DNA sequence: CCCTGATTCGC
DNA sequence: GCGAATCAGG
């Protein structure tokens, strides 16, 4: 957009008339963002914003333009691929919550790892109340290929057959 | 989903 | 300076 004094005047006029930024944009043949951006730069009186921005809000994510493409350097050596595809559903039932409250209907959740583990070699079975001081993960040696130690794997993996709620 | 305005930041 | 992308709320 070529912001001539004329177009700026028009923007000011339409803004003063209380049109929405998108409407002004339509009338002037520019995007809403262009209008907002220009109005902001011109320090035109702000409209009541629908959004609440805490002054001390935790910076959510750096907004603005997407990061430009990374410089894409020469191919990494990548001697050991290590990380492969995300495993498809391997288990037949989701691991139970640490505290099986009553009898929650078992959900066939695909989420095997709800949070990152310290290591793929250690059991990530949660112990204690999440959010409390004493909460921790089991951290015993995990069965290779599984996120739990033998003891907890036996609790985590339950055959889905034999589970018969009522027909649906 | 549609809409709104505000802000960030690569260009 | 510009404005797309993103956020955040209705």
N residues, chain A: 168
Show which residues sit with Cβ under 7 A of nucleic chain B.
A 19-23, 32-33, 36-37, 39-40, 46-51, 53, 62-65, 67-68
**In degrees, to the nearest 5, what angle opens at C-alpha A150 toward C-alphas A148 and A151?**
95
Burial class (CB in 10 A: 0-12, 13-18, 19+), A88: exposed
In a domain, A134, yes or no: yes
Q: What tokens does A158 get?
A: 């339950």
The Cβ of residue A117 has, within 10 Å, a number of other Cβ atoms equal to 14
**CA/C1' separation A64–C7 (Å):** 9
- Average of per-residue pLDDT across A137-165: 75
- Mean pLDDT, chain A, whole residue set: 68
In a domain, A30, yes or no: yes
Please give the pLDDT value at position A80.
41
Q: What is the pLDDT of residues A93-126, one digit of tens each?
A: 445 455 444 444 444 444 444 555 567 888 877 7
The C-alpha atoms of residue A111 and residue A97 are separated, in whole angstroms, by: 12
Give the largest CA-CA distance in chain A: 76
For residue A45, pLDDT beyond 60 = yes
Is residue A117 domain-resident? Answer: yes
> Residue A9 pLDDT > 50, yes or no?
yes
CB A61 within 8 A of CB A78: no
- Structurally, chain A folds into a number of domains equal to 2
% of chain A surpassing 90 pLDDT? 15
Task: Taking residues A13-26, report their average pLDDT.
Answer: 90
Residue A74 located in a structural domain: no
d(CA A103, CA A51): 41
Would the pLDDT of A156 be above 70? yes
As a rounded value in angstroms, the CA-to-C1' distance for A127 and C2 is: 54
Helix%, strand%, coil% for chain A, nearest 5: 25, 5, 75
Tell me, what's the pLDDT at A30? 92
- Protein footprint of strand C, defined by Cβ closer than 7 Å to any strand atom: A 1, 3, 30-31, 33-34, 36-38, 41, 50-53, 57, 60-61, 63-66
Q: Mean of the pLDDT values across residues A141-157?
A: 81
* Owning domain of residue A130: 113-168
Q: In the beta sheet, which residues pair with residue A51? A: none
Considering the domain boundaries, does residue A76 fall inside one? no
Is A136 part of a structural domain of the chain?
yes
Residue A130's pLDDT band (boundaries 50, 70, 90)? low
The answer to whether residue A145 sits within a structural domain is yes
Nearest one of A117, A154, A121 to A136, comparing CA atoms: A117
Give the closest nucleotide to A40 (alpha carbon vs C1'). Answer: B6
Is A52 domain-assigned? Answer: no
């Amino acid at each position: 957009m070529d912001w001539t004094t004329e177009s700026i005047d028009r923007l000011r006029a339409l803004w003063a008339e209380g049109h929405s930024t998108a409407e002004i944009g339509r009338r002037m043949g520019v995007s809403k963002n262009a209008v907002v951006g220009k109005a902001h730069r011109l320090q035109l009186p702000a409209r009541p914003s629908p959004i609440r921005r805490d002054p001390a809000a935790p910076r959510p994510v750096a907004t603005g333009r997407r990061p430009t493409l990374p410089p894409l350097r020469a191919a990494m050596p990548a001697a050991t691929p290590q990380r492969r595809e995300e495993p498809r559903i391997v288990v037949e039932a989701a691991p139970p919550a640490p505290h099986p409250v009553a009898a929650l209907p078992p959900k066939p959740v695909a989420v095997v790892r709800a949070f990152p583990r310290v290591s793929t070699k250690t059991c990530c079975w949660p112990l204690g109340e999440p959010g409390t001081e004493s909460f921790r993960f089991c951290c015993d040696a995990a069965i290779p290929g599984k996120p739990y130690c033998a003891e907890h794997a036996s609790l985590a993996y339950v055959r889905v057959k034999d589970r018969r709620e009522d027909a649906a």
